[in-house]
Amino acid sequence: MEMEQNTREKTGSTRMCDWVKALPCKIKVKALGIAKKTKKVGKDDPRRIIHSLKVGFALTLVSLFYYVRPLYNVFGESSMWAIFTVVVVFEFSVGATLSKSINRGFATMLAGALGVGVQELASLLGDKGKPIVLGFFVFLLAATSAFARFFPHIKARYDYGVLVFILTFSLVSISGYRAEKIIELALQRLSTILLGGAMCIVISIFVCPVWAGQDLHNLVASNLEKIANFLEGFGGEYFEVSGDEDSGTVPKKDKSFLQAYKSVLNTKTYEESLANFAWWEPCHGSFQFRHPWKQYLKIGALTRKCAYQMDTLSANINSNVQTPPEFKRKIQNSCMKMSSESSKALKTLAMAIKTVTNPSSSSIHIENSKVAIDELKTAMDDALRERFDLLKIVPAITMASILMDIIKSIEEISESIHELSHQACFKDVEKNVSPDKLPQLLHRGIVKPVSDSNGGGDGGDHVIIQVHEKSLDSPENGNPRASKTSSRDDVL
């Protein structure tokens, strides 16, 4: 019995010993894991590191309200509100910071004035009536504000304002019940809040700014590129053709392009929040104040629709084992052309967004993919004569049919990007292309006169001018609108 207990104690102490011995190793592994994650978070978007430094800088700056005697003498304990404002209001993007600062500023003013008013009203009713009146108003406004936050429009744009409103109103009206110098106090708080907010705005705009509008613009373009990459690789993957540079397919081993579209599927919420923040931003870069941000959401929705079709399509990649090779050979050329031309159309559209230029050069690829659809139809007509086993060619037919639907969706995307280019006055690409470059471009696919098309809505009202793609990339197209827009008044 005793021995058993001894053994138990020994085992216990041995375990304890082992645990203590293993501890440094465990801590090391954990620390390495955190270091790895930290590196990844910073590498994914280096602006995050700069943002963190900006927050640290702003907070240290605002603490001067406490350290510097003359400032402290003016603002006193209210300096706390400046710190508070900086911590809560400083966000990653300029738009988010502006949204919170402006919401906070206006809500504080409105609620402060209302609080003082209610306080005065309650004073008329004597010491017994006062808490009842104040309590009634606090209940009424708190319940109304809480309910207002359920309205989608308010939730999206003024949520923080409503929160600050009810907070300030409660603080002013209730604490006013005790404090005598209420107006002086309210003004002190307001001024520190405005100072803190102004500091955040200035730092976030002038020190390495992160514009939500620019991010939305880039996100929409990069999502288009992702679905373009899927299409670019899809043909080669489906027909098991090893990629070569001419056909634009990527080498077979790297199949990440087949998964990239997946990150497009769930971008709605992120796009909407970026658009909401962008709404607050003054003009910057190529974007004027009141840039048509809503149009980006439309393009985003159409891009997602395309990604949904790809999700359905990707189920077909692996189900083509039983398709008769002769049938595959029949449709291979047209299908590969469909996927590569539609991919090129998307890439041209993405490039047009990135360079803020007119996207008309995408139409040629859309026309080419339509020609490929016609070729596919002819090939299928031929196939009928050879009496393939219908069941065995079902997956291939489905693939081709979804590919046709995708091209229809891409036409819609192209239309909405043309609409954006019209609304946001995208600049035209230089029309005097040197003639020696033209042939290179024209042999890329069958060029069909636009007037022959039955219209994606984007080809009917202008003549296509083929432009060498490099000119879109060139630095002289970088940001010519910046000087034009910077002369406009900032509304803020």
CA distance 484 to 242: 48
CB of 466 to a second copy, least distance (A): 32
Say if residue 236 is exposed, middle or buried (CB neighbours under 10 Å; 0-12, 13-18, 19+): buried
Q: Which is nearer to a second copy, 149 or 427 (CB)?
A: 149
416 near 298, Cβ under 8 Å? yes
- Interaction residues for a second copy, span 322-381 (CB under 8 A): 377, 380-381
When binding is defined by CB under 8 A, the residue of 375, 405, 419, 430 that contacts a second copy is 405
Of the candidate spans 17-25, 87-95, 416-424, 475-483, the one that interacts with a second copy by CB under 8 A turns out to be 87-95
When binding is defined by CB under 8 A, the residue of 400, 407, 410, 424 that contacts a second copy is 400
Of the candidate spans 57-65, 99-107, 227-235, 455-463, the one that interacts with a second copy by CB under 8 A turns out to be 57-65
Q: Which is nearer to a second copy, 120 or 473 (CB)?
A: 120
Instruction: State phi, psi for 427 to the nearest 5 degrees.
Output: -80, 155
The residue written with tokens 């196939």 in the block is 383
Kindly state the DSSP code that residue 427 receives in the 8-state scheme.
Answer: B
469 near 344, Cβ under 8 Å? no
CA distance 148 to 142: 10
Contact letters (x/-) for a second copy, 132-171, by CB under 8 A? --xx--xxx-xxxxxx--xx-----------x--xx--xx
Strand partners, 427: 357
- Interaction residues for a second copy, span 267-326 (CB under 8 A): 268-269, 304-305, 308-309, 311-312, 315
CB of 13 to a second copy, least distance (A): 31
- Interaction residues for a second copy, span 466-485 (CB under 8 A): none
CB of 482 to a second copy, least distance (A): 29
When binding is defined by CB under 8 A, the residue of 6, 11, 177, 242 that contacts a second copy is 177
Q: Which is nearer to a second copy, 403 or 424 (CB)?
A: 403
Instruction: Kindly determine how many residues on this chain lie close enough to bind a second copy according to the rule CB under 8 A.
Output: 79
Q: Which is nearer to a second copy, 242 or 401 (CB)?
A: 401
Distance spanning both ends of the chain, measured CA to CA: 83
What is the residue type of 137?
F
When binding is defined by CB under 8 A, the residue of 317, 402, 465, 472 that contacts a second copy is 402
Of the candidate spans 10-18, 117-125, 208-216, 392-400, the one that interacts with a second copy by CB under 8 A turns out to be 392-400
- 15 touching a second copy, by CB under 8 A: no
CB of 86 to a second copy, least distance (A): 8
Q: Which is nearer to a second copy, 127 or 489 (CB)?
A: 127
- Interaction residues for a second copy, span 34-53 (CB under 8 A): 37-38, 41-42, 45, 48-49, 51-53
Kindly state the DSSP code that residue 262 receives in the 8-state scheme.
Answer: G
CB of 131 to a second copy, least distance (A): 5
Q: Which is nearer to a second copy, 66 or 289 (CB)?
A: 66
Query: Helix, strand, or coil here: 159?
Result: helix
Tokens of 96: 């988010």
Please spell the DSSP secondary structure of 453-466, one letter per residue: S---SSSSSS----
- 383 touching a second copy, by CB under 8 A: yes
CB of 418 to a second copy, least distance (A): 22
CB of 232 to a second copy, least distance (A): 20
Tabulate helix, strand, coil % of the chain (nearest 5): 75, 0, 25
What is the residue type of 396?
A
CB of 24 to a second copy, least distance (A): 24
- Interaction residues for a second copy, span 187-246 (CB under 8 A): none
- 185 touching a second copy, by CB under 8 A: no
Exposure class string for 88-125: b at 16+ Cβ within 10 A, else e: bbbbbbbbbbbbbbbbbbebbbebbebbbebbeebeee
* Residues ≥6 apart with Cβ < 8 Å to 111: 164, 165, 166, 167, 168, 169, 172
CA distance 335 to 423: 35
